[in-house]
Structure 1
Amino acid sequence: MQKPKYVDFDLQIWKSGDQYIAEVRNSPAGSSGREVLQWPYEINDELVSLLGKAIAEARKSANSRGPMSASEQRLRDFGSAVFSTVFRRGYSIAEKYSKSIDLVQSKPDVEGLRLKLSVESPELAMLPWEYIFDESDQADNGAHNYICMQFRSPLVRFLQGKQHQMPAIKRPLRIAGMICNPTDDKDLAIDIEQERRLIEKALEDVPKDLVSFTWLDGTTIDDLRVAMLGSNAHVFHFIGHGGTDICLPDRQGTVRTNGFIVMQNEFGEAERVSAERLALALNNQVRLVVLNCCESGRGGSFSSIGADMVRAGIPLAVAMQFPIANGSASYFSSEFYRALGQGKTPEYALTYARRAMRSRVELDWGIPVLFTRAESTTALFPEVATQSASPTKTRSSSVPLATKRKSAREELRKLFA
């Protein structure tokens, strides 16, 4: 039986002149008026860099159960400021959000509210929205106050355009993995065997009838194309490096960037592969691409290769907006795939994986970003049925209970006569 569905809270943000405008286009409580957002600080690359450093510093301390670190306080301050700017001081948006949450919670057949975030302004798109923090409940100001930590409110980066349809598929969830390790640049060197062990160990306790992971041979775009010709994979999992290229300004004078991953050419040298080339190498069964490489989600929906994969026709893409530790990345993948294999929606699975990561590393859970054009709550296949407490099925009897007891007493008298 399918899990109840999410409903969309369609929030769009764009720039008009020197003002940032936000509007709820659709929600359970209806649409909102347009709100001018008053940001409490200057938005630039330096801000994003400082937030990234805070995540890295928290990783070094590796203290997820002790007092809140200064690094997390910095992220919470940022998340609180964003929440206050959009969901409190944007009064009509705040009203629709509050009413939508109440409506969703009152309906047992609805899983939650999917925050469908569409940001057109590049400087806002590069912000780590996944760390939005709701301080409205001052009495219980814990980690679950992060919006993305709640099953009721997953956040996705939604790209405007034709929505992708995803027909149901059969189990197991089949994943094809590839590791690229260019040999001409020591800074890009990857320990291939260690990466393989991390993924395989993380997936050890995931039932094989739910998730099947296969490593692809080769490291070039041509190797990938040939391998996918005979593959029935639903997911392509890439481990390596990525980045962005700056392009010439468009007709409106906006400077855009194109994301890429680093693969190898026939000589083993690093080769930048765009989202378009990568998408063309995959088969049409691939529903999801997971890019375990730095900055594959940097720039948000505006310029990252994660977003570009969705624009190129892949329904769903998970990418990393900051550098992520190998252990965190493999653990995220295993828990994300575990939930998908159970028939959970990508939104639910992402939240499940974030919560699992939080139990190990303080702030890495907000690094993965989900880009999509797919409708909400599209599970890859039906949810796994929960086994009943009594595995053997007994026939019901039409004999009254009183008659059964009388017959049992008579049998006992015969035995002890």
Structure 2
Amino acid sequence: MDTVMELEIGPGPEPGSYVVQVLRSVGGGEPTATIRLELDELVERRPLLEASVLSSSVSARRVMSDTEAAIQQVGVRLFDAMFAGDIGNAYRTSMAVASERGRGVQIALRLTAPGLAALPWEAMFDSETQTYICRKEPLVRQVPAPHSAPTLTVRPPLRILAMVSSPRGLPMLDIDAERERLEGALRQHLDAGRVELHWLDDVMWAGVHGKLLEGAWHVLHFIGHGGYDIETDEGVLAFSGPDGRAEYVTASSLADLLDEAEPTPRLVVLNSCQSGAAGTQDLFSGTAAALAHSGIRAVAAMQFSISDPAAIAFARGFYTALAHGRTIDEAMRSGRIGILGKRGTLEWVTPVLYLRGDDARLFDVASVPATAPASRSVAAPVAGAIPIVTGQRTPDASPHAPTARGASVAAVAAPILSTSPATAVQHATPVSPAPAAPAAPPAGPARPAHAAAPPAPPAPPQQAMPAASAPPPSPPRRSSWKPWLVVGIVALLAVGGAIAAVIALSPTPYVPPDPPSPSPNQPVVTPTTFGMAVPMYQLWTPTGIWCATGDTLDIQASGTAYHNADPSSLVGPDGLYDPYYHQWNIPGLPDSNTASLIGVLNVTTAWPFYVGYGTSYTCPVDGWFYLGINDVDLNGNSGEFWAVITHTPSG
């Protein structure tokens, strides 16, 4: 693109101030201005914004929903701060000049002050024209570099190394389905011989390292779990460890790993939540930013969680634009426009693009010779990598297998050529935004006072848990929280109105009895969605949801709470990743993260399941649905998570 407006935003002369400088523009000069931004307050609103974006994936009938109002308010604040005075004049002049030329304007942001990258600049809203900038013009986060790799001349095929990482202990991904989606996205180009796609089955550090050394890869496509380690202020991706559990790879380590490839892949696509998020202390702490800073020309990632339908729509638009010769910034905008096909969604704000240097054209792909084979569905074998093959997908035998992905689940790579739109739940009730993060508890062993719990549902005669489910005696517990990390905010899916039940713990814990069944004549309802608080200090909280056999419950969660009375024990719905804490897990979830959000149907007759930031659950029998905390020692816990539940009746 020959029309670019490049802006640099850096530290100002006093706290809370920032200097905006136009480094180049189409016709508006290069003015400089000092602005003020309430950075801490805006960063603290990220959980609410993420919950708003995710909940917008459920259809609403309003002209402007409450969720969009929250996003637009932040977008107006960011735009008005950035484009005030002479900077704004330069922006509008550039737009006018580009329009006369019949061109668009790339908005390139250089964020040189710590903390600025944590803000959702993709939400910037121009009140004068009533438009979101990134939906009208390509918007990139530019990583300055003294040099960047030139456009790579590629003689077909373009080689893509793809991987799906689904380690034990995290929400399960449907690996076969993930592969089919990406293969469908590239099918036209695979058949024409322009692209060769290889699947890496061994998504361990050594396995990825070996494959990067064995061949030349132009694109790396990662599908899996991502998050943000608030202790190290660095983004992470979940590889598999030797024992099959998650082994978290920090952004800086991943950058060094990719640098082993020759040549270094020009494009990295991270279909994992929070892979585009950034910290407040380090300019290049986020996974995507660190990779671009290390030498990767372009990194497409997600700053929030993203729903499956939105991820499918994004990938379709993104890859179609690249296949037709568009630049990477234009492809990113095409992906956003693809998401807009679903009415009312705000998830177009989720994708982010980090671009190293100025040139947005990554590849110069030579034309495929006329003698190229007409069909090329199977790539040439590479040792250790799995060429794509066609065939029947093995169905998941588990009746509880997730059917959609939430906050900690990777966004889906989806078909380019599919003509049918992604399926979405319709006629759902708008949800309330998530509450703000709780205040830190006082230091010391005393548990903070809590509001009285709501009344429990009517209780028929108590039933005991099976003998095998009795928890072992609790060993002495550490007073401070030392997890490896807390996976970042996110997730799709969720259901239900809220009532609460206080659970007393003992060697044989009290279990809330199963409420009576509703009338068999109860009418079938359309999908409904609503939000509820899940206290950190209660084992099980009734949702008030009666789930019939075959009904689907989509749960998405956000917020933070305290795992004990220590002020440093803040934890998200994904809980604690350190296996040391598994000794406090409830029966039935020995390997899941301690203090994580969990669910159960009929607490006296069914085993619980992991929810974390989000999952989808198909009810195998009739029963009442509960949300709870994976923790047998609730003493000192405080705060609450926010869950949004969508209940879709079967049939």
| TM-score greater than 0.5 by the shorter chain | yes
Which of 326, 330, 352 is residue 334 of structure 2 equivalent to?
352
TM-score for the superposition, normalised by structure 2: 0.51
1:265 matches 2:244: no
- Mapped partners of 1:223, 1:41: distance in 2: 41
Question: CA 1:172 to 1:78, structure 2 compared with 1: closer, same or farther past 3 Å?
Answer: farther
Distance in structure 1 (CA, Å) of the matches to 2:20 and 2:220: 34
Q: Over residues 205-227 of structure 1, what are the superposed CA-to-partner deviations in whole Å (9 max), with x where a residue is unaligned? A: 66643544332221112111222
CA distance in 1, matches of 2:325, 2:120: 28
Alignment partner for residue 95 of structure 2, among 95, 101, 111? 101
Give the number of equivalent residue pairs.
357
In structure 2, the residue matched to 1:199 is: 182
Deviation at 1:263, TM superposition (A): 0.4
SS of residue paired to 1:9: strand
1:167 aligns with 2:152: yes
- 1 CA distance for matches of 2:65 and 2:355? 33
Instruction: Select the residue among 105, 123, 126 that pairs with 2:115.
Output: 123
Q: Is 1:284 matched up with 2:259?
A: no
Question: Within 5 A, what are the aligned runs for 1:238-317?
Answer: 238-246=222-230, 257-282=233-258, 283-285=261-263, 286-299=265-278, 302-317=284-299
Alignment RMSD (CA, Å): 2.7
* Structure-1 residue corresponding to 2:163: 178
Alignment deviations for residues 163-198 of structure 1 (CA, whole Å, 9 cap, x no partner): 412233234443221111111x2x343232232233
Q: How far, CA to CA, are the matches of 2:366 and 2:139 in structure 1?
A: 21
Q: Return the alpha-carbon distance in structure 2 between the equivalents of residues 332 and 278 of structure 1.
A: 24
Asked if 1:367 corresponds to 2:367, the answer is: no
Give the secondary-structure state (helix, strand or coil) at the position aligned to 1:24. Answer: strand
Q: Is residue 202–residue 331 contact of structure 1 (8 Å, CA) maintained in 2?
A: no
Please name the residue that 1:68 is paired with.
64
1:233 matched residue in structure 2: 217
Q: 1:163 to 1:332 in 2, by over 3 A?
A: farther
CA distance in 2, matches of 1:156, 1:297: 12
* Preserved contact between residue 316 and residue 338 of structure 2 (Cα < 8 Å): no
Cα distance between partner residues in 2 of 1:6 and 1:149 = 19
Greater Cα offset, 360-369 or 34-43: 34-43
Q: Which residue of 2 aligns with 1:390?
A: none
Partner of 1:380: 363
Encode CA deviations 1:109-164: one digit per residue, 9 max, x unaligned: xx422211011233322111111112212xxx4xxx211112xx211111122241
- Which SS does the other structure have where 1:10 is aligned? strand
- Alpha-carbon distance in structure 2 between the residues aligned to 1:206 and 1:66: 41
Amino acid at match of 1:381: D
Deviation, 1:99, is 1.4
Contact preservation (8 Å) 2:266, 2:362: no
Residue 200 of structure 1 deviates from its aligned partner by 3.4
Which residue of 2 is the match for residue 13 of structure 1? 9
Tell me which residue corresponds to 1:92.
86
Q: What is the alpha-carbon distance in structure 2 between the residues aligned to residue 279 and residue 40 of structure 1?
A: 32
Moved more, 282-291 or 342-351: 282-291
State how far apart, in whole Å, the 2-side matches of 1:97 and 1:383 are.
Answer: 37
Matched, 1:190 2:173: yes
Q: Distance in 1 between matches of 2:177 and 2:272?
A: 15
**Structure richer in helix, relative to its length:** 1
User: Is the contact between residue 255 and residue 290 of structure 2 (CA under 8 Å) also seen in structure 1?
Assistant: no
> Deviation at 1:203?
4.4
Whole-angstrom CA distance in 1 between matches of 2:111 and 2:37:
15
Maintained 8 Å contact 1:162/1:373: no
Distance in structure 1 (CA, Å) of the matches to 2:326 and 2:173: 32
Counterpart amino acid of 2:107? Answer: L
Letter in 1 for 2:271: N
Give, in whole Å, the separation in 1 of the partners of 2:184 and 2:41: 40
Change (3 A) 1:85 1:205: same
TM-score of the superposed pair, with normalisation by structure 1: 0.78
Shift in alpha-carbon separation, 1:159–1:379, aligned structure 2, 3 A? closer
